[in-house]
Amino acid sequence: MRGEPEGFCEFVATRTGGLLRTAWMLTGDAHLAEDLLQAALARTWPHWHRIGEHPEAYVRRVMVRLQAAWWRRRWNGEVPTGELPEASAPDRYGEADERAVLAEALRGLPRRQRQVVVLRHYEDLPEREVAQILGVGVGTVKSQNAKGLRRLRAALAACERTEELR
């Protein structure tokens, strides 16, 4: 096999930690996140020499598209639901409990809403760039983002109400 392109190994070794966290936000699972990142890097490898100065953006775009393809290819056990499931055993520590609720709510979002929320609010990308990555219009990004945030807020509000009742 041909050797790796110049700089690729260093990129994987030093700059993929952030991408792994993005992958986790997209998949909600550490093992799936690692798999998604590795698959995206494997697809990036052949195009490395013409990616330019922003390889992380390129890999992020590949991850989002791959995740969409995986989602279509197999049902992954997630069922978008209008109502959040009853929280499991509450944590003694409010912050940890709130994180668990937010993570669960994020996992419960439909794929497109989750992608928009992650790219817009976790990656802090402008709406136009999110639309470009996802191949949709800016209007779709806005509406999906609003719906996603509404559901996340509802989840956190329900969590806070539970805390107050304790």
Partner 1 sequence: MSDDDLDRRLRALPPELPPHPDRFGRVRARVDRRRRGWAVAGAGGLAVAGLLVVQVAAGLSGPPRDDWAFAPRLDTSTTRSANGHPVGDAASFCPTLPGLPMDEPRPTGTRERLVPTGVPEQVVICAYGTRPLGAEGAPPVAGVREISAGLDRLGVDLAQRPPLPGNRPCPAVGGQSTSYRLRLSYPDGAIWVATEHDPGNCAPASNGTFEAVGFGEQAAAAYATGTWESTPPGTDPCAPPDAGSWRQWDAGRWGQHRAMVPLGAVEAAICPSADGDRVVQGDRLTRLTDALNELPVTDGPAVCGSAGKGVGTTYRLVFRYPIGPSVVVHVHPGCHPEVFNGNLTSPYAGDVVRVIEELLSG
Taking CB under 8 A as the criterion, the residue among 62, 64, 116, 117 binding partner 1 is 117
Q: Which of residues 3-22 bind partner 1 (CB under 8 A)?
A: 4, 9, 12-13, 16-17, 20-21
Taking CB under 8 A as the criterion, the residue among 32, 51, 68, 87 binding partner 1 is 32
| Binding piece for partner 1, criterion CB under 8 A, among 80-88, 108-116, 130-138, 145-153 | 145-153
Residue 4: CB minimum distance to partner 1, A:
7
Q: Which of residues 50-79 bind partner 1 (CB under 8 A)?
A: 73-78
Taking CB under 8 A as the criterion, the residue among 94, 122, 147, 162 binding partner 1 is 122
Residue 114 in contact with residue 108, Cβ under 8 Å?
no
| Binding piece for partner 1, criterion CB under 8 A, among 34-42, 49-57, 82-90, 131-139 | 34-42
Q: How many CA atoms lie within 13 A of 40 on its CB side?
A: 28
Residue 65: CB minimum distance to partner 1, A:
16
